[in-house]
Amino acid sequence: MNCQLVTGGAGFIGSCYVLQARRRGIRVVNLDKLTYAGNLGNLASLRNDPDHVFVQGDIGNAELVRHLLDTWRPDAVVNFAAESHVDRSILDPEAFVRTNVLGTATLLRVVKDWLARLAPGQAQAFRFLHISTDEVFGALAPGDPAFTETTPYSPRSPYSASKAASDHLVRAFRETYGLPVLLTNCSNNYGPRQFPEKLIPLVILNALDRKPLPVYGQGMNVRDWLHVEDHCAAVARVLEGGRVGESYNIGGRAERANIEVVRTICALLDELVPSGQGPYADLITYVTDRPGHDFRYAMNCTKLETELGWRPRHDFASGLRDTVRWYLENRDWVENVRTGAYRQWIAVNYASRGAVCDAASDAQGGKA
Ligand code: NAD
Ligand code: TYD
């Protein structure tokens, strides 16, 4: 049986990847620190699965990683583990350096040393796949061509700078030590089980609670949205068939201005759960912009499509509808993640923007 060491496999995207990998019969050793974003509830369906081995721990713990490699001898390491929220990186940049840069460096070094001890035949098929983001390429203006794999890196937030640094380390380990690496850079994901500090779940859940829907700046910033299941299917394709040392862009060809996304969610909720208190769009509240807010991201995925035959299966309209339904139908999951730590984050992030979305505080800010 194939075995993969998946890091960050209790988070939004990692857990989706783990569920897909188990459906394909791959044994998964899942190393996750269980930060605020990690949630074993995402993996509830694997509770009695002997081929999903969950280990709570840090990718920066060299001894633990070495032990897991020696014990399970995986065919691949797939590194999802990261601090992933731009707004948090603005308030606490060092946390992003610790996990995304130092943690990845330790993981790479331990994997490199372990591989060097294997017999040559055993090491040949091994791959280290690093999950990255479109944000490393910087920001596009309207009408600029989409990012390709050769677009120079130009990160503009502590989050994207830390991801760019980790990507550079991964490539450096290929050049310096011959580590068989692959990289993927993906656009914004959406779908079930996304922690509700990110735009789409935040808007769905705030709307259901009749709280303000905070839109940064004018709401004209553009993101390219991809369903999380399509992202994970692309990662699997790259692992199977990607050329060692290469990176592959992944995106949804679904560029939308934020305000359009928010209005679409409101319209879906008007249809699925009419409130009787007026349209949900009445809750839209323009708030102080994110500092250094990247205007637009867009991915050119031609390389992945032509080399590996990948195509997304979800279109944004139906994928967003399914996602809204998922949050409506999984209220237990929602209540479990809305802990004290979540409520504290909402208060910290939105108080200074002129709109506070938590029940603990009164809503302020200009209505749309
Ligand atoms: P997430 O924040 O939901 O999950 C991150 C997971 O990593 C959590 O389970 C957390 O507990 C774990 N983790 C954090 N620090 C760790 C450490 N030091 N050691 C072990 N585990 C640790 O993030 P996500 O949205 O699932 O993103 C996963 C990966 O995909 C990240 O590398 C992110 O940069 C990348 N990515 C995300 C998006 C997106 O839209 N969410 C888009 C492109 C790329
Ligand atoms: P987010 O989900 O944080 O992802 P990223 O910053 O990695 O793209 O934000 C998506 C977009 O939505 C981004 O342009 C910022 C914007 N946004 C808001 O307008 N309001 C919010 O409350 C949040 C969290 C994000």
pLDDT digits 0-9 by tens, 321-356: 999 999 999 999 999 998 878 888 888 999 888 655
Candidates 199, 204, 294, 346: which one to mutate for ligand 2, based on the most atoms within 8 Å of Cβ? 199
pLDDT at 280: 98
Q: What pLDDT is stored for residue 122 in this prediction?
A: 79
**pLDDT score at 340:** 77
Q: Is 159 a catalytic residue?
A: yes
Per-residue pLDDT, 355 = 58
Q: Which atom of ligand 2 is nearest to the CA of 87?
A: 3
User: To which CATH superfamily is domain 3-190+225-250 assigned?
Assistant: NAD(P)-binding Rossmann-like Domain (3.40.50.720)
Q: Which of 32, 83, 87, 159 is catalytic?
A: 159
More confident call, 251 vs 344: 251
* The two structure tokens encoding residue 83: 């601090």
Report pLDDT for 343: 83
- Ligand 1 centroid vs 100 CA: distance in angstroms? 9
- The per-residue pLDDT for 357 is 46
pLDDT at 364: 34
- What mean pLDDT comes out for the span 304-331? 98
- What pLDDT sits at residue 363? 31
Q: Residue 316 pLDDT > 80, yes or no? A: yes
- Mean pLDDT, residues 67-73: 97
Considering only CA atoms, which of 167, 30, 157, 161 is closest in space to residue 105? 167
Residue 234 predicted with pLDDT over 70:
yes
pLDDT at residue 140 tops 50: yes
Q: What's the mean pLDDT in 69-77?
A: 97
What pLDDT is attached to residue 358?
40
Total residues found in the chain within this entry: 368
Predicted pLDDT of residue 359 = 35
Q: Average model confidence (pLDDT) for the chain?
A: 94
List residues near ligand 1 (CB under 6 A).
7-8, 10-14, 31-35, 37-38, 58-60, 80-84, 99, 103, 131, 133, 163, 186, 188-189, 195
Calpha distance 9→80 (Å, rounded): 7
Tell me the pTM.
0.96
pLDDT at 365: 35
- What pLDDT is recorded for position 347? 87
- Three-class SS string for the chain? CCEEEEECCCCHHHHHHHHHHHHCCCEEEEEECCCCCCCHHHHHHHCCCCCEEEEECCCCCHHHHHHHHHHHCCCEEEECCCCCCHHHHHHCHHHHHHHHHHHHHHHHHHHHHHHHHCCHHHHHCCEEEEEEEHHHHCCECCCCCCECCCCCCCCCCHHHHHHHHHHHHHHHHHHHHCCCEEEEEECEEECCCCCCCCHHHHHHHHHHCCCCEEEECCCCCEEEEEEHHHHHHHHHHHHHHCCCCCEEEECCCCEEEHHHHHHHHHHHHHHHCCCCCCCHHHHEEEECCCCCCCCECCECCHHHHHHHCCCCCCCHHHHHHHHHHHHHHCHHHHHHHCCHHHHHHHHHHHHCCCCCCCCCCCCCCEEC
| pLDDT average, residue stretch 225-231 | 98
**Residue 34, amino acid:** L
- Sign of the Cα torsion 261, 267, 271, 275 reads positive
212 lines ligand 2 (CB under 6 A): no
Structure confidence at residue 360 (pLDDT): 32
Which pLDDT tens digit goes with each residue over 145-189? 999 999 999 999 999 999 999 999 999 999 999 999 999 999 999
